[in-house]
């Protein structure tokens, strides 16, 4: 019994020390909320000394801005014997308000009901915590408001590639493009365009700024976005992430619509292309004409050379110098050769463009825009079916424009037959991991199977009278395709017209090919 009493006295002493030295304000009040006890922490928080509050009602701490409902809920819980926790707006002795986080617990002596009920209050000053929480909330609301009204599309992508947050501008892009997640297409386009540089930026969280991405819209004009990427790390709010061990990576994508500016640039560029095209067409026509003349002249010169060789053999070495027929044949051969050399000298040089990364959607769009008048005058309807995003190919843009323009003009010419009612051209693109494919299909009479190889020969035309054609178009096409390591096929299974498929290796594959060749 003495041991228990001793432990009780020690426990009371320790308890008293703990309460006195606690950083939390402790108050004990009676049933009428009169203060019976306060600890030193109460004085530090409120400014009231113990002798100034003991015997007074605790309402002296109340501040007028605290809603009455809060007090009503507190007393409703306490009077039923339940503890209550919450935040109140209190005031200090000097009248300044502070936010108090309060827990009040009813306390009664079970063996002595006559003593009534007491209330143990624990409260601490959380004014700074409240201020920081409000600052954070204000920042959050401000950022959300700015993002909501921002003209640029914004999407937040988690480490699994899922868009977990976006804004109304991004949803407008989804609606306009008809794509479930444009963010995925942007990431794919940047990866294809930048290659290892994109992988390096992803691995090292290097931001990317103002990278242009072009989207094709089925049956409509293309659109351009200037895209930027930033990466950040979100720390876990779970208890086991308290020391920073757990975190999640996110990618912030920003897409600024620059279509209007790019359309103005495209209009100027197309005007310049038309000017260059006119000059190029003249030079190409001159080259083809002179090439045709050389081709036609070379045959007779070769026959004269053969005839001269036969006459020389027949006359023998001794009579060669005195043979008038041999001399005439030699003079004719020399004159023909000089004429061929003169035609070669008069031929304008072929311009060789600069090789670079080329988007075939852009090339085909240029061709369609340049030939709009031709298509309208021929009554041809174009079904433009581009892939939304294409990887680049390695090539000469001018040569590729010439290639597809010639294929388009051939398709128009094939359908330009009197009485031919259905005049449609479908131009489509698609891509695989290794190649980019262009499909040009017309509703014309098609190419007979026996002529599918012959049409690529110089000076050959399926038109009986040639109608001014020089028969060089498809031979030029084949030359450009070969120069770009492409493949051109006339689909043998297609009926009701002609379907030509041209494919090229993507820029990455083309670069690897060049490295291996070197």
Which residues of the chain are modeled with pLDDT < 50? 1-4, 7, 465-472, 510-518
Question: What does the pLDDT read at residue 463?
Answer: 57
Tell me the H-state helices in 323-359.
Answer: 324-346
Residue 135 falls inside a structural domain: no
Same domain, 323 and 362: no
Residue 262 falls inside a structural domain: no
Residue 240 falls inside a structural domain: no
Sheet holding 97-108, edge to edge: 35-38, 25-29, 117-125, 97-108, 84-91
Last residue of a domain, one of 324, 351, 378: 351
Residue 304 falls inside a structural domain: yes
Same domain, 497 and 385: yes
Same domain, 206 and 284: no
Question: What does the pLDDT read at residue 9?
Answer: 62
Same domain, 507 and 394: yes
Give yes or no for a contact between 426 and 440, defined as CB atoms under 8 angstroms apart.
yes
Same domain, 85 and 229: no
Cα separation, 124 vs 357, whole angstroms: 66
Question: What does the pLDDT read at residue 468?
Answer: 44
Cα separation, 226 vs 257, whole angstroms: 6
Cα separation, 22 vs 330, whole angstroms: 123
Question: What does the pLDDT read at residue 159?
Answer: 85
The torsion angle over the Cα atoms of residues 6, 11, 13 and 17, rounded to 10 degrees, is 160
Residue 478 falls inside a structural domain: yes
Same domain, 367 and 510: yes
How many C-alpha atoms does 120 have within 13 Å on its Cβ side? 9
For 32-52, the three-class secondary structure string (H helix, E strand, C coil) is CCEEEEECHHHHHHHCCCHHH
Instruction: Report which DSSP code applies to 457.
Output: S
3-state secondary structure of 213: strand
Last residue of a domain, one of 207, 224, 257: 257
Q: Which domain holds residue 81?
A: 2-125
Same domain, 323 and 360: no
DSSP 128-196: HHHHHHHHHHHHHHHHHHHHHH-SSEEEEEETTS-EEEE-HHHHHHHHHHT-S-HHHHHHHHHHHHHTH
Cα separation, 26 vs 103, whole angstroms: 10
CATH code, 453: 3.30.565.10
Residue 145 falls inside a structural domain: no
Question: What does the pLDDT read at residue 516?
Answer: 44
Give yes or no for a contact between 387 and 430, defined as CB atoms under 8 angstroms apart.
yes
Same domain, 183 and 112: no
Question: What does the pLDDT read at residue 518?
Answer: 43
Q: Please report the sign of the dihedral spanned by the C-alpha atoms of residue 442, residue 444, residue 445, residue 448.
A: negative
Residue 483 falls inside a structural domain: yes
Query: Can you give the pTM of this predicted structure?
Result: 0.53
Same domain, 310 and 453: no
Question: What does the pLDDT read at residue 280?
Answer: 63
Same domain, 425 and 320: no
CATH code, 31: 3.30.450.20
Last residue of a domain, one of 196, 225, 257: 257
User: How many structural domains is the chain composed of?
Assistant: 4
Question: What does the pLDDT read at residue 511?
Answer: 47
How many C-alpha atoms does 74 have within 13 Å on its Cβ side? 18
Question: What does the pLDDT read at residue 76?
Answer: 92
Give yes or no for a contact between 124 and 45, defined as CB atoms under 8 angstroms apart.
yes
Question: What does the pLDDT read at residue 41?
Answer: 93
Same domain, 382 and 339: no
Question: What does the pLDDT read at residue 175?
Answer: 87
Residue 143 falls inside a structural domain: no
Q: Which residues contact 162 (CB under 8 A, 6 or more apart)?
A: none
Same domain, 453 and 310: no
Q: Please report the sign of the dihedral spanned by the C-alpha atoms of residue 32, residue 36, residue 38, residue 42.
A: positive
> Which of 8, 66, 55 minimizes the C-alpha distance to 28?
55
């Amino acid at each position: 019994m003495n041991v228990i009493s001793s432990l009780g006295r020690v426990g009371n002493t320790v308890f008293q020390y703990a309460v006195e030295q606690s950083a939390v304000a402790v108050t004990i009040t009676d049933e009428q909320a009169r203060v019976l006890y306060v600890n030193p922490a109460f004085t530090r928080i409120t400014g009231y000394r113990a002798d100034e509050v003991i015997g007074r009602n605790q309402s002296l701490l109340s501040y007028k801005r605290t809603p009455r409902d809060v007090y009503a809920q507190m007393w409703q819980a306490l009077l039923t014997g339940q503890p209550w926790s919450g935040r109140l707006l209190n005031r200090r002795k000097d009248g300044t308000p502070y936010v108090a986080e309060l827990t009040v617990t009813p306390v009664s002596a079970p063996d002595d009901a006559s003593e009534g009920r007491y209330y143990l209050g624990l409260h601490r000053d959380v004014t700074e915590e409240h201020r920081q929480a409000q600052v954070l909330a204000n920042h959050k609301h401000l950022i959300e408001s700015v993002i909501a009204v921002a003209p640029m599309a914004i999407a937040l992508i988690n480490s699994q590639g899922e868009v977990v947050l976006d804004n109304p501008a991004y949803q407008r892009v989804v609606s306009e493009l008809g794509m479930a997640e444009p963010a995925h297409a942007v990431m794919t386009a940047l990866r294809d365009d930048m290659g290892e540089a994109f992988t390096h930026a992803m691995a090292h969280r290097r931001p990317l700024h103002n990278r242009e991405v072009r989207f094709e819209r089925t049956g409509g004009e293309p659109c351009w976005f200037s895209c930027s990427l930033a990466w950040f790390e979100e720390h876990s709010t779970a208890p086991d992430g308290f020391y920073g061990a757990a975190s999640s990576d996110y990618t912030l994508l920003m897409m600024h619509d620059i279509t209007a500016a790019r359309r103005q640039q495209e209009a100027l560029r197309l005007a310049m292309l038309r000017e260059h095209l006119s000059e190029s067409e003249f030079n190409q026509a001159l080259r083809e004409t002179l090439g045709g003349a050389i081709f036609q002249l070379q045959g007779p010169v070769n026959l004269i050379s053969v005839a001269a060789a036969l006459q020389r053999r027949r006359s023998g070495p001794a009579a060669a110098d005195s043979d008038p027929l041999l001399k005439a044949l030699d003079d004719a051969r020399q004159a023909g050769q000089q004429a061929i050399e003169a035609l070669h000298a008069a031929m304008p040089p072929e311009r060789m463009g600069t090789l670079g990364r080329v988007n075939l959607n852009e090339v085909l769009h240029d061709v369609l825009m340049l030939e709009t008048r031709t298509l309208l005058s021929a009554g041809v309807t174009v079904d433009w079916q581009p892939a939304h995003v294409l990887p680049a190919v390695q090539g000469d843009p001018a040569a590729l424009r010439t290639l597809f323009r010639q294929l388009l003009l051939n398709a128009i010419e094939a359908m330009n037959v009197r009485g031919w009612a259905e005049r449609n051209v479908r131009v489509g693109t698609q891509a695989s991991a290794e190649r980019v494919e262009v499909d040009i299909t017309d509703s014309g009479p098609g190419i007979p199977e026996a002529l599918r190889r012959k049409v690529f020969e110089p000076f050959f035309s399926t038109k009986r009278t040639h109608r001014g054609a020089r028969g060089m178009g498809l031979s030029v096409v084949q030359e450009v395709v070969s120069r770009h390591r492409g493949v051109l096929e006339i689909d043998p299974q297609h009926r009701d017209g002609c379907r030509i498929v041209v494919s090229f290796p993507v820029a990455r594959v083309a670069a690897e090919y060049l490295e291996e060749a070197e």
